[in-house]
């Protein structure tokens, strides 16, 4: 069955007792045992709940994995994954990385003896040169946030498997509608489901999908033990959002491609980072392993003085963190999403005081373009007198 149909049918045939097309919200935290030694399959909602179970099965199906796990946020999902590792373990991690992931690794996991090296994960020579005897996994964002660096997943996953390493892929920006890393050799896929999967800026959630019986069992143990699980109301909201994922991603992609191409030739813009554009370094790799492009991109203004007035003058576009919702949002990574990354590291990668990240929403593309156009014009007028 095509993925569009599988998305639309999430939860629609899972309640045989009532035939409910929208799977019910089971708010209960406890479940009766028929008798001693017997269970309905549900005992305590931290371990398993009916609404969350439907969501988790759908996630595993969409990502071609063996098991799915719904968590209380994307960071909670990463915490569970990082808990697979312990004292003395080392990870290879994408150089251009979401600031929250960097913070979790450097300020939390480091306390437990887990270390990380940040490198261009598309460079096998760099991966090999940074690999240590205690290296356990490769964590890849592709495309990365915010500079849209692309990694050849099949190439890196094959190398990692040869070296006995796990391949973990953050698939938040493309979703399983456009990219399925497990089919390319990854062992674990993680999502901030708050973003495109939820799609409406109204639910905080994370998802993990695993491949392999032992790995799935290990993550299930950590999911239950740590307890960072998604509640039934939020599980239902996430399923509702995912039903329209195909339609939304197509529109996000269309709008973002139009806007990125327009900004690419704008006289006030120095660079646009978006894999759909032919000039982008990862354009061909992206096209080979993904069926489409995300709705987020970044662009760098020529003059840093334009940043503050642009963010002040946008009207339809909201100056707000997060991404992937119906509404267009603009973020200033240097002081928001990537503030926890030391300045010298940020600047070395390219996340400087001229960079804006743009999560393109579902509004009419002309309205989004006109809003950004007037904001840039107002900013240029202010700084040039």
Print pLDDT tens along the chain (385 aa): 999 999 999 999 877 788 899 999 999 999 999 999 999 999 999 999 999 999 999 999 999 999 999 999 999 999 999 999 999 999 999 998 898 999 999 999 999 999 999 999 999 999 999 999 999 999 999 999 999 999 999 999 999 999 999 999 999 999 999 999 999 999 999 999 999 999 999 999 999 999 999 999 999 999 999 999 999 999 999 999 999 999 999 999 999 999 999 999 999 999 999 999 999 999 999 999 999 999 999 999 999 999 999 999 999 999 999 999 999 999 999 887 666 677 777 777 778 999 999 999 999 999 999 999 999 999 999 998 7
User: Do 172 and 67 belong to one domain?
Assistant: yes
Would you tell me how many other CB atoms lie within 10 Å of the CB of residue 157?
23
- 243 is annotated as an active-site residue: no
User: Do 105 and 48 belong to one domain?
Assistant: yes
Identify the domain boundary among 174, 205, 240: 240
User: Do 214 and 277 belong to one domain?
Assistant: no
- 46 is annotated as an active-site residue: yes
User: Do 44 and 168 belong to one domain?
Assistant: yes
Q: pTM for the complete prediction?
A: 0.96
User: Do 236 and 250 belong to one domain?
Assistant: no
Judged on CB neighbours under 10 Å (0-12, 13-18, 19+), 342 is exposed
Identify the domain boundary among 204, 219, 240: 240
Catalytic residue among 52, 89, 98, 243: 98
Give pLDDT, residue 18.
86
Residues 185, 161 contacting (CB under 8 angstroms): yes
User: Do 282 and 370 belong to one domain?
Assistant: yes
Residues of 295-331 as b/e, b for ≥16 C-beta within 10 angstroms? bbbbbbbeeeebbebbbebbebbbeeebbbbbbbbbb
End-to-end CA distance of the chain: 59
70 to each of 7, 12, 38, 155, 232, how far by Cα in Å?
Answer: 16, 19, 26, 28, 10
Give pLDDT, residue 214.
98
Catalytic residue among 89, 96, 152, 170: 170
- 170 is annotated as an active-site residue: yes
DSSP character at residue 64? T
We report the CATH number of the domain holding residue 369 as 3.90.1150.10
264 to each of 88, 174, 175, 219, how far by Cα in Å?
Answer: 45, 22, 25, 43
DSSP string of 72-119, one letter each residue: SSHHHHHHHHHTT--TT-EEEEESS--HHHHHIIIIIGGGGT-EEEEE
Give pLDDT, residue 148.
96
User: Do 256 and 368 belong to one domain?
Assistant: yes
Residues 6+ apart with CB under 8 A from 166: 84, 136, 137, 138, 160, 187, 188, 215
CA dist 152 and 283 (Å) reads 11
User: Do 119 and 227 belong to one domain?
Assistant: yes
> In terms of residue numbers, what domain contains 234?
3-240
Identify the domain boundary among 182, 211, 240: 240
User: Do 81 and 117 belong to one domain?
Assistant: yes
CA dist 152 and 154 (Å) reads 6
Number of domains making up the chain: 2
Catalytic residue among 6, 46, 136, 161: 46
- 195 is annotated as an active-site residue: yes
Catalytic residue among 195, 211, 243, 357: 195
Give pLDDT, residue 340.
67
We report the CATH number of the domain holding residue 96 as 3.40.640.10
Give pLDDT, residue 229.
98
């Amino acid at each position: 069955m095509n993925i569009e149909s599988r998305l639309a049918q999430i939860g629609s045939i899972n309640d045989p007792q009532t035939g409910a097309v929208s799977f019910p919200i089971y708010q209960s935290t406890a479940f009766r045992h028929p008798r001693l030694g017997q269970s309905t399959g549900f005992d305590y909602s931290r371990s398993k709940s009916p609404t969350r179970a439907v969501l988790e099965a759908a996630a595993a199906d969409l990502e071609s994995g063996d098991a799915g796990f719904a968590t209380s946020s994307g960071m909670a999902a990463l915490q569970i994954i990082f808990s697979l590792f312990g004292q003395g373990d080392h990870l290879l991690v994408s150089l251009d990385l979401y600031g929250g992931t960097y913070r979790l690794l450097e300020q939390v996991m480091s306390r437990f003896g887990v270390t990380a090296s940040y490198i261009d994960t598309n460079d096998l020579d760099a991966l090999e040169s940074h690999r240590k005897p205690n290296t356990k996994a490769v964590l890849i964002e592709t495309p990365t946030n915010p500079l849209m660096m692309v990694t050849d997943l099949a190439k890196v996953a094959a190398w990692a498997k040869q070296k006995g390493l796990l391949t973990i892929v953050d698939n938040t920006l493309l979703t399983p509608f456009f990219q399925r890393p497990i089919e390319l050799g990854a062992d674990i896929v993680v999502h901030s489901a708050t973003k495109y999967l939820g799609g409406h800026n109204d639910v905080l959630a994370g998802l993990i999908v695993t491949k392999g019986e032992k790995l799935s069992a290990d993550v299930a143990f950590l999911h239950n033990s740590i307890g960072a699980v998604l509640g039934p109301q939020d599980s239902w909201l996430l399923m509702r959002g995912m039903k329209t994922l195909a339609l939304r991603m197509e529109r996000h992609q269309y709008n973002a491609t139009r806007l990125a191409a327009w900004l690419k030739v704008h006289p006030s813009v120095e660079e646009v980072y978006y894999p759909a554009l032919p000039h982008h370094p990862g354009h061909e790799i992206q096209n080979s392993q993904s069926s489409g492009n995300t709705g987020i991109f970044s662009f760098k203004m020529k003059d840093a003085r334009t940043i503050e007035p642009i963010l002040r003058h946008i009207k339809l576009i909201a100056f707000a963190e997060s991404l992937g919702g119906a509404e267009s949002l603009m973020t200033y990574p240097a002081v928001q999403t990537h503030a926890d990354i030391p300045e010298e590291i940020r600047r070395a990668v390219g996340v400087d005081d001229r960079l804006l990240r743009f999560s393109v929403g579902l509004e009419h593309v002309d309205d989004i373009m006109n809003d950004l156009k007037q904001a840039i014009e107002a900013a240029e007028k202010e700084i040039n007198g």
